[in-house]
Structure formats: C-alpha cells, structure tokens
C-alpha cells in the first residue's frame, strides 16, 4: 500500500505544486468542531487556505463565521455565502470604503471590522455612512503580542463606548489575537493564557455592567484553541488547523491534526555525490522561517545547504536513491504563506491528482 501522500499519476503533475487532500481537510474540520464543542464556536481564519472550495467544505460542516486578513479574503467569503466575516486587520487608506462596498455587494454576508484607535472608527464610520450600510466593529485588544490592538484598560472602555455613538457603526464585541502564546508545554500555555486574558474578561464585565452590548469575543490562534474552548461563548479564530503544518505540530505536541497540504517537488540536479537539488525555491515554499522549511518523506537526514528563488539544495546520505526526475513529497513548516505562493493547488483524491483549484484569495483584489 502506497503511503497516503504519494500520487499514482505524478507524471501528469508539474512541479513544484502544493497538493491538497480534501478528505484530510474534512477530518481536520471534524476534529476542530469536536475540540470547540460545536461548529458555532468556530470562526476559522481563511488566510491559511485562501480557497473557495475549502470555505465550502467548512460551510458544509456547519461553520458559518469566518475571519479574514484582506479585503480579497473577505470577498471570497462573501462570494461563498458565509454568514459572517470579520476582517481582523486595521483598515486604512481605501480599505474602509472597500469593506463598506463589500457590505453593499454581498448583503447575505455580515462584514465586520476591527478598530484599535479613534481614527480607525472615524474612517469606517465615514465609509459606512457614505455607502449607506451599518458595519459591526469589534474592539481589537492587545493581549501582550504588541502587534495591533489597544491595551485592555480605560482607553479601551472609552473607545468601545464611543462606537455605540458613532454613525454607521455598531459595537460588535471584542477581538484579541494571542499569537505570542505558543509554549510547547500545555500547562504553561494555559497559565500564560489565563494571565493574558484576565484583563479581557474584566473589560467585558465592565462593559456589560455599564450596559454596552458585547455580542461576541473572538480570540485564540491554533496553540490556545483547545484551552480557550473551555471558555464558553468565545469564538475560536484558529486558521492553521484546517491544513496543518509541521511548524504547528512542533509547537503544539498536544494537538492532533492531519497534514492536508503536501509539497510535490522533483530532483532537478545531482551536482555532487551527496547533494540533491529540488525545484522548490523561495518562490514555492514559505521561507521566512529557519531551515528546515520542509520535512521531506524519505529524506529525514537531509540538511538544507542552499535555498534560492527556484532551487533547494539538500545534502543527504541517501542522495543516491534520488536520481534526477524523482518526485519528492514534503510537509511545509508554515503552510499559510506557502499557499499564497501558488496560483493554483493540485487536489488529490484516492491517490490521484484529479483537478486544480485557483488560490482565489491569493490576489489582493478580487472585484472590489
């Protein structure tokens, strides 16, 4: 029996490409839903896959709310019939107007934004009023990552309170992304999360006590998902769980998901006795992380020695069993930016590449 990732018709598939295994995607969705205690608890980030077909699988499994980082990802969700999309990224320049335009164009989808500063609220308000739409806005909170978000103190309370008085906007709750919490030890991660989120729960209580609606809290990336699942009502915003990668598998040894995206590459040269050169350069696999950037099946001892735009050179004692032309399969360390490097992915069912899917939201603009 061939290993699960190997395809029988590899000869028909040009490399490099990213293979997507929908059956494994669906198994990951089932595991996410089980961890969360129901599809209603999930608000997965679509930046991981950027694919309408994966969005459709998520919707088929009962997930109705999504998270996006770009206008194009949000539009993909609108086109796919998502009930709600939170654009969890500060909107500047023309983007408030683009979000308002999405709300007009896809009335079946509720588009939500985030703000962490009064200027963001003003820009969204102006765009919403001009477009004649109402936009729900979540307050983006800094839980210690220090990337975006307002500190969950008095200023945050005042900014949230002001949303209720701002034309075109509706207070939509709180957003807190905790990407800095990735302790490998689950107990340590839980403790760090409890410390980081204590202020968020207190802010929520204060807002509610003052009579402000806090309809939802959206929190957590992949590492904190199983822990945040214990907090009723919080919507879980992990993205990577749907395709999985070896970076998250290393970070979270306590989490059990299936690799559902595999790179197919080929040996293009054997420049020395123990070197293998693959057609898997920076332009085909995310390279912002240290090596190894891919875990290759059958090349567990390989050491990456050179990586350029179109080439990845490995040294291995098994180099001899990889003649020029050999198809090599591997799991990326970081799947989200890897997907974004591919114009289309190759879909595998029953050990065969059966179709390609364009990575629609890879573009910065779909129609708006």
Ligand X SMILES: Cc1ncc(COP(=O)(O)O)c(C=O)c1O
41 near ligand X, judged by CB under 6 A: no
Dmax over CA atoms of the chain, in Å, equals 72
Residues, the chain, total?
368
Q: Which of 139, 145, 142, 133 is nearest to 157 (CA)?
A: 139
Q: How far is the CB of 182 from ligand X (least distance, A)?
A: 8
- Chain centroid to CA 84: how far? 16
Q: Which is nearer to ligand X, 52 or 223 (CB)?
A: 223
Among 78, 96, 226, 239, binds ligand X (CB under 6 A): 239
Q: Which of 241, 98, 121, 236 is nearest to 175 (CA)?
A: 236
Check: CB of residue 294 under 8 Å from CB of residue 330: yes
Residue range at the interface with ligand X (CB under 6 A); choices 29-37, 237-245, 302-310, 317-325: 237-245
Q: How far is the CB of 237 from ligand X (least distance, A)?
A: 4
CA-CA distances (angstroms) from residue 226 to 35, 44, 291? Answer: 6, 14, 28
221 near ligand X, judged by CB under 6 A: yes
* Contact letters for ligand X, residues 282-301 (x by CB under 6 A): --------------------
- Look at the alpha carbons of 277, 278, 279, 281 in this order and tell me if their dihedral is positive or negative: negative
Instruction: Say how far apart CA 99 and CA 177 lie, in whole Å.
Output: 21
338 near ligand X, judged by CB under 6 A: no
Residue range at the interface with ligand X (CB under 6 A); choices 14-22, 165-173, 232-240, 252-260: 232-240
Q: Which is nearer to ligand X, 150 or 328 (CB)?
A: 150
CA-CA distances (angstroms) from residue 352 to 7, 12, 266? Answer: 5, 10, 17
227 near ligand X, judged by CB under 6 A: no
By beta carbon distance, the residue nearest ligand X is 221
* Contact letters for ligand X, residues 86-125 (x by CB under 6 A): --x-------------------------------------
Q: How far is the CB of 238 from ligand X (least distance, A)?
A: 4
Residue 253's SS3 state is coil
Residue-wise DSSP of 21-84: -HHHHHHHHHHHHHHHTSGGGB--BTTTT--HHHHHHHHHTT--EEEESSHHHHHHHHHTT-SE
Among 222, 287, 338, 346, binds ligand X (CB under 6 A): 222
- The site for ligand X, by CB under 6 A, has a size of 11
Among 18, 36, 163, 238, binds ligand X (CB under 6 A): 238
179 near ligand X, judged by CB under 6 A: yes
Q: Which is nearer to ligand X, 188 or 301 (CB)?
A: 188
177 near ligand X, judged by CB under 6 A: yes
144 near ligand X, judged by CB under 6 A: no
Check: CB of residue 47 under 8 Å from CB of residue 367: no
226 near ligand X, judged by CB under 6 A: no
Q: Which is nearer to ligand X, 73 or 279 (CB)?
A: 73
237 near ligand X, judged by CB under 6 A: yes
Check: CB of residue 223 under 8 Å from CB of residue 241: no
Instruction: Say how far apart CA 321 and CA 304 lie, in whole Å.
Output: 17
Q: How far is the CB of 12 from ligand X (least distance, A)?
A: 32
Q: Which residues, 6+ apart, have CB-to-CB distance to 155 below 8 Å?
A: none
Q: Which is nearer to ligand X, 91 or 264 (CB)?
A: 91
Among 240, 265, 277, 338, binds ligand X (CB under 6 A): 240
Check: CB of residue 307 under 8 Å from CB of residue 287: yes
Q: List interacting residues with ligand X (CB under 6 A).
A: 45, 67, 88, 177, 179, 221-222, 237-240
């Amino acid at each position: 029996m061939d290993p699960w990732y190997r395809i029988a018709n590899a000869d028909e598939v040009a490399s490099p490409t990213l293979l997507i295994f929908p059956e494994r995607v669906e198994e990951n969705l089932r595991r996410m839903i089980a961890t969360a205690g129901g599809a209603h608890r999930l608000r997965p980030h679509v930046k991981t896959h950027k694919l309408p077909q994966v969005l459709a699988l998520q919707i088929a499994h009962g997930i109705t709310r999504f998270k996006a980082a770009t206008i194009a990802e949000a539009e993909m969700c609108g086109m796919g019939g998502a009930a709600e999309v939170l654009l969890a990224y500060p909107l500047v320049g023309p983007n408030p107007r683009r979000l308002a335009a999405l709300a007009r164009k896809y009335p079946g989808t509720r588009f939500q934004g985030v703000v962490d500063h009064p200027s963001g609220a003003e820009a969204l308000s102006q765009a919403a009023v001009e477009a004649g739409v109402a936009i729900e806005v979540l307050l983006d909170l800094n839980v210690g990552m220090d990337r975006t978000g307002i500190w969950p103190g008095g200023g945050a309370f005042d900014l949230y309170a002001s949303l209720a008085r701002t034309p075109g906007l509706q207070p939509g709750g709180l957003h807190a992304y905790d990407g800095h919490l990735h302790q490998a030890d689950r107990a340590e991660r839980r403790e760090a999360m409890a410390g980081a989120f204590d202020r968020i729960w207190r802010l929520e209580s204060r807002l509610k006590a003052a009579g402000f609606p806090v309809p939802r809290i959206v929190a957590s990336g992949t590492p904190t998902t199983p822990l945040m699942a214990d907090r009723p009502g919080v919507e879980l915003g992990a993205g990577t769980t749907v395709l999985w990668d070896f970076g998250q598998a290393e970070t979270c040894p306590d989490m059990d998901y299936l690799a559902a995206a595999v790179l197919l590459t080929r040996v293009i040269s054997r420049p020395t006795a123990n070197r293998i050169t693959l057609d898997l350069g920076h332009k085909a696999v995310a390279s912002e992380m240290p090596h190894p950037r891919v875990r290759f099946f059958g090349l567990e001892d390989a050491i990456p020695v050179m990586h350029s735009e179109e080439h990845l050179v490995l040294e291995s004692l098994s180099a001899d069993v990889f003649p020029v032309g050999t198809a090599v399969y591997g799991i990326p360390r970081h799947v989200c930016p890897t997907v974004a490097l591919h114009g289309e992915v190759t879909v595998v069912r029953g050990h065969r590449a059966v179709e390609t899917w364009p990575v629609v939201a890879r573009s910065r603009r779909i129609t708006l």
